[in-house]
Amino acid sequence: MARNVMDILRERGFIKQTIYEDELYKKLDQESVVFYIGFDPTADSLHIGHYIPIMAMAHMQRAGHKPIALIGGGTAMIGDPSGRSDLRTMMTKETIEHNSNKFKVQMQRFINFEGENKAILLNNADWLLNLNYIEFIRDIGVHFSVNKMLTAECFKIRMETGLTFLEFNYMPMQAYDFLFLNRNYNCSLQLGGNDQWSNMLAGVDLIRRKEQKDAFCMTFTLLETSEGKKMGKTAKGALWLDKDKTSPYDFYQYFRNVEDQKVKECLCLLTFMDMAEINELTKYQDERINTAKERLAYEVTRLVHGKEEADKAREMALAAFAGASDNLPTQTVKADLNMPVVDIMVLAGVADSKSQARRLIEGGGVSIDEAKVESVEDLLSKYSSSKEFVLHKGKKVHIKVVLDE
RNA sequence: GGGUAGGUUCCCGAGCGGUCAAAGGGAGCAGACUGUAAAUCUGCCGCCUCCGGCUUCGGUGGUUCGAAUCCACCCCUGCCCA
């Protein structure tokens, strides 16, 4: 085995907290460790928030360790109280199943589900759903001190706003997952986001008590904007890894537009690029940092959507920001030249409603080809006499519109 | 179960019979400045057939010329007591 993964993860800035750090380091040096990360199947696609854990999994796998991606089909029926101020909506079995299948497809780009230390995908519904209540509280429940649980960060916040017994059970359940995986798959390490820390500790504790075996956990940093907000929020909601939910172009643009200060962090966490190369790319503080942004956007898009889509996205970006209109994202719209610009904007998806389109025009943010749209009343024919034209919204949205009458 | 404080537009949070589509902040979008960055300043920020109209303030029914604001019942949440 080459370098210890922990060194790699540390160097790239993944690690936030680790339990028994030195012991874990040694263990990772000596053997192929089975580890797991849990994913809540709350949507039918992974989003950028899952990206870091997945990258970490990939790094781990490359270093010879064995990943288990655990879909929280059972725990999703309860809802994790950590980091939420409200009760999560419960989900049906069918949607959970559907979602986890989608997850697997997306994960395949990063981790291998075949080969020597292949990853496996499990669903905790398979064991949690059959649990017998009395047995569970006798076997597992005894090991949990309510007093201690209440001091956990994830419950503390909820003590203010209200916490149901249902949610209170999330921690023991997740701990039980770890125990189950430890017993059946020899899994001894759990990774995850920092919001999972208390849940993970609970699992480590439980394994030590029930099995008298060592178990470990480690959490990762969260990508945040410089203001401390979770990164990955866009106008349309989360930044999804599914190309039908977030187009590769929008995905590309998101990273093309990250703040200067975050470029390096993103490169380290979200790509496999060599550290030396990253350092070289990010050594400038002025507009030359844009080169790094382009690279970042391209690399990340390529990892998520493949080379072809990444190339396309890059070309579109070039077209949109460097003039040419050939490679622009194109929208075919059922309309004719005599329609008001406002309607075209809605049809082309540039505005959510006519009112919004009107406001954009009033604010001077809309132009067609090179002419600014002056009035809300204007018809398309005033600006274009052809069935193809470029519609600009602000500085960043440029779409080629083709009329289909 | 009893007492008590609440449920307001994407989020936080004012409003407490007309002047309320509803203060303020955040997020978001657009304009200026720039480097497709940040910061800053400005405008917009329920929907429409847009000088007007329509639908919103937990739900349902009332009172009133008129309700987010008053009344009744119901649902949900916090806190205190059991």
Contact A155, A163 (CB under 8 A): yes
The pLDDT of residue A326 is 67
What is the C-alpha to C-alpha distance for residues A305 and A327, in angstroms, rounded to an integer?
18
**pLDDT average, residue stretch A176-186:** 97
Show which positions of strand B are touched by protein (CB under 7 A). Answer: 12, 27-32, 34-39, 43-50, 77-79
- DSSP string spanning A348-397? TTS-SSHHHHHHHHHTT-EEETTEEP--TT-BGGGT-SSSEEEEEETTTE
pLDDT score of A345 more than 60: yes
State the pLDDT confidence band at A227, using cuts at 50, 70 and 90. low
The pLDDT of residue A78 is 65
What is the C-alpha to C-alpha distance for residues A176 and A125, in angstroms, rounded to an integer?
12
Q: What is the pLDDT of residues A278-330, one digit of tens each?
A: 999 999 888 889 999 999 999 999 999 999 999 999 998 888 887 656 678 88
Q: Any atom of strand B under 7 A from CB of A291? A: no
Task: Enter the pTM of the model.
Answer: 0.86
Nearest to A37 by CA among A85, A2, A72: A72
Q: Which residues contact A128 (CB under 8 A, 6 or more apart)?
A: A74, A75, A173, A176, A177
Contact A140, A174 (CB under 8 A): no
Alpha carbon A30 to its chain centroid, in Å, reads 31
How high does pLDDT run on average in chain A?
A: 87
A240 CA to B23 C1' distance (Å): 36
A91 CA to B23 C1' distance (Å): 39
pLDDT score of A263 more than 70: yes
Contact A398, A250 (CB under 8 A): no
DSSP state of A195: G
Comparison of pLDDT for A302 and A81, the residue scoring more? A302
Greatest mean pLDDT among A92-101, A203-212, A393-402 lies in A203-212
pLDDT > 70 fraction of chain A, expressed in percent and rounded: 91
The pLDDT of residue A222 is 79
Which ipTM value was assigned to this complex? 0.83
- Which residue, counting CA atoms, is nearest to the C1' of nucleotide B28? A235
**pLDDT average, residue stretch A225-241:** 67
pLDDT score of A334 more than 70: yes
Q: In this structure, what token pair is assigned to residue A312? A: 């396309």
Residues 201-260 of chain A within 7 A of strand B, judged by CB, are: 226-227, 229, 233-235, 253, 256-260
**Which residues are A330's β-sheet partners?**
A400
Q: What is the pLDDT of residues A201-221, one digit of tens each?
A: 999 999 999 999 999 999 998
Q: In this structure, what token pair is assigned to residue A104? A: 């697997």
State the pLDDT confidence band at A76, using cuts at 50, 70 and 90. confident
Q: Any atom of strand B under 7 A from CB of A150? A: no
Q: What is the pLDDT of residues A364-391, one digit of tens each?
A: 889 998 888 988 888 999 998 888 898 9
pLDDT score of A148 more than 50: yes
pLDDT score of A237 more than 70: no
Q: What are phi and psi of A156, to 5 degrees?
A: -50, -50
